[in-house]
Each structure stands twice: as C-alpha cells, then as structure tokens.
Amino acid sequence: MRVANLICLVAVLSAGLAACASTPREPARVEHRSYSGGSGSSGPSRITRMDCGNAYTVRRGDTLSEIAVRCGVAMEALASANSLYRPYALNVGQVLSMPRPAVHVVRRGENLYRIGLQYDVPFQQLAAHNGIRPPYNLEVGQQIRLPQGATVVNLASRDTSAGSSSTAAPSPRENRPPPAQAGAPSFAWPIRGSVLSSFGRKPDGGRNDGINIEARSGDSVRAAAAGQVVYAGSELAGYGQLVLLRHSGGFVTAYAHNSRLLVREGDQVSQGQVIAEAGDTGSVDRPQVHFEIRNGVNPVDPMSYLR
C-alpha cells in the first residue's frame, strides 16, 4: 500500500474511533435510485447492470454504491482501488478504475508483458509471483495470480489525444528530465514531425505518458530501436491500432493511432524498419503518432532518449 494511502487510512480510522466515543447517532439513510426506467420502484436490484470494463465515468446523480451495483463489484473494493474515503464524494466526469480481480485468466493472444501492462505490474514481477520461468510461455485459460495492490489501468483516461499543440507548464521536476539511463538503446525518432503534445501532466489534470507527433495519414512509422514485437492490435482503448516493441535493457516502445499495422507479434525488427502507417485511430481526431518509451512499465520522457 502506498504511504499516502496508509496515512489516509490511519486518519479515517482515527476519525471513526472518535465518532464511536461521541453520542450515538442514527445511521445515515442511503437513498437507492432506480436506473431501470420504471416508475415507482427503487432499490439496488432495479439498477441496470452493465459491463464497465476497466473504468467507469461518473454521471450526474451517481453514488459510489450505485456504481458498484451497476458494475458488479464490491463498493469497498471500488473505493480502495480509487483511494476514496467516506463520504465518497464524486465529481461528474471523474473516471473510476475498476478493482482488479484476484487472478487474471489468460486469453488468446496474450503474453505476460501485455498482462503486466494492463495491471501496471512489471512482467518480471508477475513471472516471479507465479513461478513462471523464461521464455514465459502461457496457455489460454491459465490463471495468473496478481500481486496485492495491483489495479486495472484505465489506458483510455490517459491523455493520448493531443488535438492541439497546447501543453501544461511542467513542474520544476518535470522541467529537468533525468538523463537517459546508461545502457539504454539508442532511440531514433519513429517519424519526423512537430510535437503536438509533450510528456507529462496536462491542464485538465490528465497525463500524457509519451509524446504525440504530427503526421500525415499513411506516413511510415519506423521502429525507434531494434527489438521484438510483443503486441500488435487495437484492444487497448484509446490507443487505436497499436504496436509495442521490447528492446534490450527492459525498455519498451509504443506506437499508437496507426491506420495500418505491418508487423505481427513475435516479429524481430531492426531500427528504422517500417512497422506501421500513421493514422487517426483511437481517441484522436487528426493523424499523428503517439510514441512512448517505458523502462519496464514506467513511462519516461522520450525527449530525454531520442537522438
């Protein structure tokens, strides 16, 4: 558990103990509203169930208990996954991450890296936690136990849209990016163009885990360094047609919003090899390439590594 979460938990417990020492009060009434469209009926059983996927966007009038019923998860687990504490105040438009399951069931086409990316857990940690040895072969239906504290990552909520060139003023720490790690591959630009959105936090509170580079539809997208294709598809919400390459030193690069993919999972590629054609798939409205460099699962500023 993060230190900040632990501090908040201690504060909540202390407040609860203080309340127990005061004069007892009548428990607060919880109002359950109907979302089924029927009139004159209420209660959680009338809330329409839905597949919330990895995340749920708060709507006007939502309460945490209703969202939990609607998404089929425990309210306490939902609160914990989003660091929410009583009285569970929510804001319209707030994106709630769904609590992670105890295990992940391997689906066709998945590998350990992709599973780790989904739960923000290094694939090496998943391997060690499950006793899986290199080359980390998985079988469809295999159960992968997830470490405590892992949550489902809502990739769509991260700012990859970059519809304009406006960016937030970086914090002092972000303004001084660390130098490229010794031993890291020499990364080349995947495509030449103006940077539409830089790495880091944005004015609306979102975050860009890479940079977005202006492109024309159909332009060649090239591998920034030699490596292996560990993902090629469009299953990660918001990224559109996406390629992930694994490189030496535990580095991974991502190339999103493509119109066409030219490589398959397992392919070995060389630096500068064309791996895709640029486009505007996913959560963007103009052709561009969303490019990330990750050290394990941790995003780093590509501008510190590109030559």
- Give this prediction's pTM: 0.51
| Residues 175 and 285 grouped into a single domain | yes
Whether 287 and 161 have beta carbons less than 8 Å apart is answered as: no
Question: Are 161 and 288 within one domain?
Answer: yes
How confident is the model over 67-117, as pLDDT tens digits?
Answer: 989 988 888 888 887 888 888 889 999 999 887 667 888 888 788 888 887
Q: 262-276, pLDDT tens digit by residue?
A: 999 889 999 999 999
Share of the chain above pLDDT 70, in %: 73
> Residue 59's domain is classified under what CATH number?
3.10.350.10
* Per-residue pLDDT at 290 exceeds 90: yes
Residues 59, 161, single domain; the answer is no
Percentage of residues of the chain with pLDDT beyond 90: 35
pLDDT of residue 279: 96
Residue 16 lies inside a defined structural domain of this protein: no
For 3-124, strand residue ranges (E) read: 55-57, 95-97, 103-105
Q: What is the pLDDT of residue 152?
A: 58
C-alpha distances (whole Å) from 37 to each of 33, 42, 48, 168 are: 10, 10, 9, 42
Residue 165 sits in the same domain as residue 299: yes
Same domain assignment for residues 217 and 284: yes
- 298 belongs to a structural domain: yes
How many domains, the chain?
3
Most confident of the ranges 20-34, 125-139, 154-168: 125-139
| 137 and 272 part of one domain | no
- In which domain, by residue range, is 135 found? 103-145
Same domain, 51 and 119: no
pLDDT of residue 3: 34
Residues 195 and 239 in one domain: yes
Task: With respect to residue 21, please indicate whether it lies within any of the assigned structural domains.
Answer: no
Residues 93 and 107 in one domain: no
Give the C-alpha separation, 217 to 274, whole Å: 14
> Residue 257 falls within a domain, yes or no?
yes
Same domain assignment for residues 178 and 295: yes
Domain assignment of residue 163, yes or no: yes
26 lies in some domain: no
pLDDT digits (tens, 9 = 90+) for 184-200: 789 999 999 999 999 98
- In a domain? residue 81: yes
User: What SS3 state is found at 12?
Assistant: helix
Tell me, yes or no, whether 22 lies in a domain.
Answer: no
Instruction: Tell me the CATH number at 276.
Output: 2.70.70.10
Cβ 191 vs Cβ 219: under 8 Å:
yes
Contacts 24+ apart (CB under 8 A), 113-116: 113/230, 113/231, 113/244, 113/246, 113/252, 114/230, 114/231, 114/244, 115/144, 116/297
Residue 305 CA to residue 307 CA, distance in Å, equals: 6
